[in-house]
């Protein structure tokens, strides 16, 4: 029996991916306990040939050969040297930016010599050249790691998969992606119906039976997903056509790196060129520009007196190290120059708010949901890194050329020098995105970010409406305090509205004040205890689709 998801797979999305990742880890553990892996773990190859011409499967078997007539020798003790070696495969090309960098060529293998920090590693290529590489450009080169296969896309939604395959527009073009069913995988494939020009995208869920075998057609079972894909690349065996062309993520834009190089947060202004003005905001004008004439960047020129610059520069050193596919990367700052320049990743489609408004009526609900999911992933990363956004809203998210949404301006309100913006009674204070403890007591936390996330979901599902459209900030404070909440956008089914609504649990003022006075709290109010029901990014938020 073939399971395909066009209509039959119930779509579920995990708003915050922690649960998914737990499930994925479990699945990967299962892979590594497949028979071949067990053997290779028991009998590690002690002298792994560098860049051997042998296909990996052969290497594998060779390491498992036992002398047949003699009593098998006990396995050799693992040598310190080989035990720790990490081999990686480049997912993207990387051109050296500094003399200390090493060039990466997509698909090639490298040996990791040292991890300088989570983002920059020292590596050696097969010519024995050594240098620093961005860690997000490589992945561990082992057969059980799906990322080494050019058909696997980790961070892609059903919607994005369909768009990618339609662009390719080739019979049998396919990808494998993480399914919305936690811990499972889906094959998405471009097919044309027989005797028709009409093309469709089929989604086949890869199932796993009780013995840990994978299948899309029950008759054909495999120990691992790569084996299953390999088989169906040669045999349709129940699929509409065989899997003909893997569509890799490689064509997509190169990911941003944590700074242009290791510990490089200060940028030389002579290496920047300005292309055109693309916007202006609280701090000043934003330009599209280029760094060293080949990397597109956004350059924000900070108006004199609009920011407490020294504090920001200190923080910028930390912020360049916040790297995630759903955060707008801060590359660095030009501090030797007036005005101060902040250099970030360039996002081709501008702010999420204008993106939604300009495409009113044209975005499918799946797309709206996947935008919320993008933001949720970025926020989960920020919280894990103990970073509070403080001004999460659609206007502070940006959209790139692949229509991925990324969070921008995180933490920046701390450096604004404008009373209208800082003071909760100021006209520019984002009251409509703030929970009561923020507009009453200036108490920011990841929980207050959760409240703002609920409002952002509402903005997305109203295609960019202003929350509490006809109310002043003061009226909103009164309304929220009385328990009034934003209404359900007509594009949001009940299940989606429940998620946004659950972000708006109020901590009551008496409870909050009581927690301030609580002697057991050691002077520090444990006000989170009044938030028992507010979902955090780590909670599992599964939404049944309409
Ligand atoms: P501020 O933080 O000073 O208020 P914003 O970050 O909101 O300024 O930027 C103002 C506008 O500039 C945005 O609405 C967007 O249109 C454009 N912009 C800002 N940063 C980028 C970027 N990284 N890529 C593309 N456009 C950007």
**For residue 74, what pLDDT is reported?**
67
Q: Is the Cβ–Cβ distance between 204 and 187 less than 8 Å?
A: yes
Question: Looking at residue 277, what is its pLDDT?
Answer: 97
- Write the burial class of residue 418 (CB in 10 Å: 0-12 exposed, 13-18 middle, 19+ buried): middle
pLDDT at 8: 21
* pLDDT, average across residues 398-422: 88
Distance in angstroms (rounded) separating the CA atoms of residues 530 and 224: 46
Q: What pairs with residue 303 in β-bridges?
A: none
pLDDT given at position 202: 92
Indicate which residue's Cα is closest to atom 19 of ligand 1: 286
- From 285, 286, 300, 422, the mutation candidate for ligand 1 (largest count of ligand atoms within 8 A of CB) is 286
Cα 329 to averaged position of ligand 1 atoms, centre (Å):
13
Work out which ligand 1 atom sits closest to the CA atom of 279.
12
Global model pTM greater than 0.85: no
φ, ψ of residue 161 to 5 degrees: the values are -60, -45
Tell me what pLDDT residue 254 has: 84
Ligand 1 mean position, distance from CA 334 (Å): 17
Binding-site residues, ligand 1, Cβ < 6 A: 278-283, 286, 298, 328, 344-347, 350-351, 398, 408-409
> Which atom of ligand 1 is nearest the CA belonging to 286?
12
Q: Which residue is closest in CA terms to ligand 1's atom 26? A: 350
Burial of 219 (0-12, 13-18, 19+ CB in 10 A): exposed
pLDDT recorded at residue 75: 65
Domain spans in the chain, listed from the N-terminal domain onward: 86-140, 151-246, 253-346, 351-542
φ, ψ for residue 424 (rounded to 5)? -65, -15
pLDDT band for position 252 (50/70/90)?
low
116 membership: H or E segment, kind and range: none
Residue 93: how many other CB atoms lie within 10 Å:
14
Which residues on neighbouring strands pair with residue 439, listed in sequence order?
none
Tokens 């949901």 belong to: 369
Q: For atom 11 of ligand 1, which residue has the closest CA?
A: 279
Most confident of 56-70, 176-190, 345-359: 345-359
Is 253-346 CATH 3.30.200.20?
A: yes
Q: Are strands 272-280 and 285-291 parallel, antiparallel or unpaired?
A: antiparallel
Ligand 1 site-directed mutation target among 351, 418, 459, most atoms within 8 Å of CB:
351
Would 86-140 and 151-246 be classified into the same CATH topology? no
Q: Closest ligand 1 atom to the C-alpha of 353?
A: 14
The answer to whether residue 504 scores a pLDDT higher than 60 is yes
Q: Which atom of ligand 1 is nearest to the CA of 328?
A: 23
Q: Give residues with Cβ within 8 angstroms of 247, minimum separation 6.
A: 151, 164, 165, 168, 173, 174, 175
* Protein residue closest via CA to atom 12 of ligand 1: 279
Q: Does the pLDDT value for residue 54 go beyond 50?
A: no
Higher pLDDT, 230 or 26: 230
Query: What confidence score (pLDDT) does residue 253 get?
Result: 74
Look at ligand 1, atom 1, and give the residue with the nearest C-alpha. Answer: 281
Lowest-pLDDT choice from 183-187, 262-266, 437-441, 527-531: 527-531
Whose C-alpha lies nearest to ligand 1, atom 23? Answer: 346
86-140 CATH: 2.30.30.40
The mean pLDDT value for 198-215 works out to 90
- pLDDT tens per residue across span 379-390: 989 988 989 999
Q: Which atom of ligand 1 is nearest to the CA of 345?
A: 23
Choosing from 36, 125, 374, 391, which is the catalytic residue?
A: 391
Residues of the chain with pLDDT > 90, as a percent, come to: 47
Q: What's the gap in Å between 203 CA and the centre of ligand 1? A: 37
Which pLDDT score, from 0 to 100, does residue 32 have? 26
Alpha carbons 89 and 431: distance in angstroms, whole number: 47
Distances (CA, A) of 270 to 261, 267, 326, 334: 17, 9, 29, 10
Mean pLDDT of the residues in the chain: 79
Whether pLDDT at 120 is above 70: yes
Residue 486 alpha carbon to ligand 1 centre in Å: 27
Closest by Cα among 299, 309, 300, 296 to 282: 300
**Residue 37, SS3 per DSSP:** helix
Q: What CATH fold (topology level) applies to the domain 351-542?
A: Transferase(Phosphotransferase); domain 1 (1.10.510)
How close is the Cα of 396 to the center of ligand 1, in Å? 8
Give pLDDT, residue 72. 65
* Catalytic (active site) residue 391: yes
C-beta neighbour count of 466 within 10 angstroms: 11
pLDDT tens sequence across 145-161: 998 998 998 777 787 78
- Nearest residue (by CA) to ligand 1, atom 7, is 281
Kindly indicate the confidence band of residue 128, based on its pLDDT and cuts at 50, 70 and 90: very high
Per-residue pLDDT at 511: 54
> Starting at the edge strand that comes first in sequence, how are the strands of the sheet with 120-124 ordered?
130-134, 120-124, 109-115, 86-90, 138-140
With pLDDT > 70 as the criterion, what percentage of the chain qualifies?
Answer: 76
Q: How far away, in angstroms, is 279 Cα from ligand 1 center? A: 6
Q: Which of 75-84, 249-258, 451-460 shows the highest mean pLDDT?
A: 451-460
The rounded Å distance from CA 347 to ligand 1 centre is 9
| Cα 71 to averaged position of ligand 1 atoms, centre (Å) | 70
Q: Which helix (H) or strand (E) holds 330?
A: strand 330-334
Mutational pocket test of ligand 1: of 272, 279, 341, the residue with most ligand atoms within 8 Å of the beta carbon: 279
* Cα–Cα dist 276/327, whole Å: 23
Q: How far is the C-alpha of 123 from the C-alpha of 423, rounded, in Å?
A: 49
Report the range of poorest mean pLDDT among 236-250, 285-299, 328-342, 382-396. 236-250
**From the candidate CATH numbers 3.30.505.10, 3.40.50.1980, 3.40.50.720, 1.10.10.10, the one assigned to the domain spanning 151-246:** 3.30.505.10
């Amino acid at each position: 029996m073939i399971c395909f998801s066009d209509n039959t797979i119930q779509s579920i999305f995990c708003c915050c991916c922690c649960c998914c990742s737990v499930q994925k880890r479990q699945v990967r553990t299962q892979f590594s306990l497949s028979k071949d892996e067990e053997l290779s773990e028991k009998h590690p190859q002690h002298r792994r040939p560098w860049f051997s011409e042998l296909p990996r499967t052969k290497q594998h078997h060779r390491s498992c050969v036992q002398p047949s007539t003699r009593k098998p020798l006990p396995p050799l003790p693992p040598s310190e040297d080989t035990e720790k070696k990490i081999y990686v495969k480049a997912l993207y090309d990387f051109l050296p930016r500094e003399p200390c960098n090493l060039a990466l060529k997509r698909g090639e293998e490298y040996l990791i010599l040292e991890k300088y920090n989570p983002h920059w590693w020292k590596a050696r290529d097969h010519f024995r050249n050594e240098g620093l590489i961005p860690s997000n450009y490589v992945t561990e080169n082992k057969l059980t790691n799906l990322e080494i296969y050019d058909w696997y896309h980790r961070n892609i939604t059903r919607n994005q998969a369909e768009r990618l395959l339609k662009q390719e527009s080739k019979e049998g073009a396919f990808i494998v992606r993480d399914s919305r069913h936690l811990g499972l995988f889906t094959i998405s494939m471009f097919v044309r119906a027989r005797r028709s020009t009409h093309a469709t995208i089929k989604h086949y869920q890869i199932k796993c039976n009780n013995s840990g075998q994978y299948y899309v057609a029950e008759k054909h079972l495999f120990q691992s997903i790569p084996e299953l894909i390999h088989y169906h690349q040669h045999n349709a065996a129940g699929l509409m056509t065989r899997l003909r062309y893997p569509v890799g993520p490689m064509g997509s834009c190169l990911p941003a790196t944590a700074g242009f190089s290791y510990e490089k947060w200060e940028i030389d202004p002579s290496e920047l060129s300005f292309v055109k003005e693309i916007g202006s905001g609280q701090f000043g004008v934003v330009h599209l520009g280029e760094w060293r004439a080949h990397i597109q960047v956004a350059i924000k020129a900070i108006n004199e007196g609009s920011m407490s610059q020294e504090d920001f520069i200190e923080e910028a050193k930390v912020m360049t190290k916040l790297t995630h596919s759903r955060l707008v990367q801060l590359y660095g700052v030009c501090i030797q120059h007036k005005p101060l320049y902040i250099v970030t990743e360039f996002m081709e489609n501008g702010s999420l708010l204008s993106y939604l408004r300009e495409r009113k009526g044209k975005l499918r609900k799946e797309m709206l949901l996947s935008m919320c999911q993008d933001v949720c992933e970025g926020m989960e990363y920020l919280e894990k890194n103990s970073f509070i956004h403080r001004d999460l809203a659609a206007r502070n998210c940006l959209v790139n050329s692949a229509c991925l949404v990324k969070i921008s301006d995180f933490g920046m309100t701390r450096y604004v020098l404008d009373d209208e913006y800082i003071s909760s009674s100021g006209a520019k204070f984002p009251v409509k995105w703030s929970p009561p403890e923020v507009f009453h007591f200036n108490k920011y936390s990841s929980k207050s970010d959760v409240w703002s996330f609920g409002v952002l979901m509402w903005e997305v599902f109203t295609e960019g409406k202003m929350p509490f459209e006809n109310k002043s900030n003061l009226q909103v404070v009164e309304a929220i305090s009385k328990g009034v909440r934003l209404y359900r956008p007509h594009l949001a089914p009940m299940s989606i509205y429940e998620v946004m609504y659950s972000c708006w649990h109020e901590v009551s003022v008496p409870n909050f004040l009581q927690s301030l006075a609580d002697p057991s709290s050691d002077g520090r109010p444990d006000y989170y205890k009044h938030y028992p029901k507010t979902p955090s990014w780590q909670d599992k938020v599964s939404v049944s689709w309409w």
